[in-house]
A = this chain, B = another copy of it.
Amino acid sequence: MGSDNGDGNNPAQCRVREVLDLVADKWSLYTVSYLGDGPRRFTELKRGIDGISQRMLTVTLRGLERDGILIRTVYQVMPPHVAYELTPMGKSLLPATAPLIEWTSQHLARIDQAREEYDKRSLAQPLAVAR
């Protein structure tokens, strides 16, 4: 991984980055992982994914639907009922995102610590120099 980057600027790498930009943003990652347990309704997602606005939830869900990662099902009743669930491709994404989410939660403390030290150093010395 990474060792296949010997070729400088190639279009394939650019495409990967483009899709990565969509699938690997905070909201998409969290939404997909949240749908891992099964279908959810709009309001469930909004309440479950904390900090997301209904606008960003809508935008995120539309993007994931467009990419074929989830499907949106509308039941024509009153009050409206809309269910979101992962497609097979979406489910295949789960084991790819899980390690990253797990890593993040496991390294929260160490990252906080590293930040504090970095900020302290930045105040003391303007630049760290090797000899």
Contacts and interface: CB of A to CB of B under 8 A. Distances in A.
Interface residues of A, number: 70
A111 B25 contact: no
Given A33-B1, A36-B2, A74-B130, A68 B114 contact: yes
B50 A9 contact: yes
Number of copies: 2
Contacts of A113: 68
21 contacts: A1-B33, A3-B37, A5-B33, A5-B34, A8-B48, A9-B47, A12-B105, A14-B51, A16-B108, A17-B50, A20-B104, A21-B26, A24-B26, A66-B114, A68-B111, A68-B114, A74-B129, A75-B130, A89-B114, A93-B107, A96-B99
